[in-house]
Structure 1
């Protein structure tokens, strides 16, 4: 089995690393702490078969999954294998895993430690300990869609120190966008900073521009391979451009449904 090292600074008991803890601190108003409520939200995700993505590893790997069952007695939950065997193996060795998904219009996020392989109803699955807390973020009002990964869209923006930098676009909605970078030189960006003159190349779907405000940062950094995820809110966004973005999102959804 090919293995990768856990994210630097991650504890093996599944508690978030210092960098992820700092990023999630900005979302503390949305934190759900009561164990019964955490279980209830995870069971709703299972009952509704809501899709989740799991970000992990030093290369920013992701798998798509869904929760199969929640066992409150043992304090664990079960979820599907992803579609890629190599990424499943990487996930199994990761000590820090960020789960993200939508539930009834709210964005759900939680962090779990290293999973165990498990057999659920005769099929391969993962088993993880229930998170001590999760984040149910209701401020996003718009549908969010993941962008292509094989030929990713590019956002180029001006940092506060006036450098122009390029990012991969991970997902987008009418209210914001998630960006990814492996450039260690942008590690000093913090929540609340503004990226100006951001231009988006959606390839055959056109180009757009907007200033961006950083609202979330997930920094999984090893000694040699940093990976940064930035959640950003659109600023100075005219109605005409909003209509264009809605068209981009609609076309992406149609393409995804055809695959």
Structure 2
């Protein structure tokens, strides 16, 4: 959890779940990406909590913001808890805001949603904010950057050379025309120097009966998807040496996987 400051709170006046008309109008152009089914919204918020994805919350006429993470989603009460921001003054002003725009990234996809006034609460004995679940959520995945999730039970494999020249195996999490997300519980990010900006050379992707592909990769996102004592590391990577001639084959492969997922 982010380290919040203990601050005085403003009187609670209730939590307003409806979207602000002004923000709703601003998001109207994203209608194609709008999710309104409560179960789907709850699932997406829980994914953000599980992966500890950072969210920016914009509020107020002067464009102030706090940085937070979702801590818990309570379907029964129709609410969710999230971290205090870093500063006392910002947290206090945030509690007075009637409209708040949450935005962040989850698995390479932009997430946006609007909530009303936040109420002070507690989570595991520490101060947190509580808001009603949004009535809608925007999951913005542009076609040119479309990412398809890989099979979990029988994952596709990528083998690459680390900076220390060790050859290691990763499982594929998701895939797009521009990059891939890899997963491993075996590598040591510190010992293997797998920091953001690191290049993985000679990466070979084994798609089994669909063939293979090779490209160097650059790490642009790093995340521990579980805990420090039971880690599963995720590495968001960009293709560096993918030949243009391979892009059409990669697009067909992505389309094939998405169609197969939709039939389930």
Please classify the TM superposition score into its range, dividing by the shorter chain length: 0.5 to 0.7
2:254 to 249, 253, 259: 249
Match of 1:222 in 2: 227
Alignment pair present for 1:175 and 2:128: no
Match of 1:98 in 2: 53
Alignment pair present for 1:198 and 2:165: no
Structure 2 SS opposite 1:212: strand
CA contact (8 A) 2:206 2:213 kept: yes
- The structural deviation recorded for 1:240 is 1.9
Match of 1:16 in 2: none
Alignment pair present for 1:144 and 2:99: no
Alignment pair present for 1:163 and 2:166: yes
Alignment pair present for 1:134 and 2:89: no
- The structural deviation recorded for 1:171 is 0.7
CA contact (8 A) 1:111 1:134 kept: no
Match of 1:237 in 2: 242
Write the deviation string for residues 131-161 of structure 1: whole angstroms up to 9, x where unpaired.
8653559999432111111111111100111
Partners of 1:40 and 1:97 lie apart in 2 by: 26
What count of residue pairs does the alignment treat as equivalent? 183
CA contact (8 A) 1:46 1:68 kept: no
- The structural deviation recorded for 1:112 is 1.6
Gaps of 5+ in 2: 5-19, 56-67, 83-99, 111-139
* 1:206–1:230 Cα change, 3 Å: same
Partners of 1:152 and 1:161 lie apart in 2 by: 25
Q: TM-score, normalised by structure 1?
A: 0.56
Structure 2 SS opposite 1:166: strand
Partners of 1:41 and 1:98 lie apart in 2 by: 26
Larger Rg: 2
Pairwise CA RMSD: 4.1
Partners of 1:44 and 1:166 lie apart in 2 by: 43
Partners of 1:229 and 1:41 lie apart in 2 by: 36
CA contact (8 A) 1:46 1:67 kept: no
Match of 1:75 in 2: none
Q: TM-score, normalised by structure 2?
A: 0.56
Partners of 2:184 and 2:30 lie apart in 1 by: 32
Structure 2 SS opposite 1:118: coil
Gaps of 5+ in 1: 1-9, 14-35, 51-65, 70-77, 101-109, 120-124
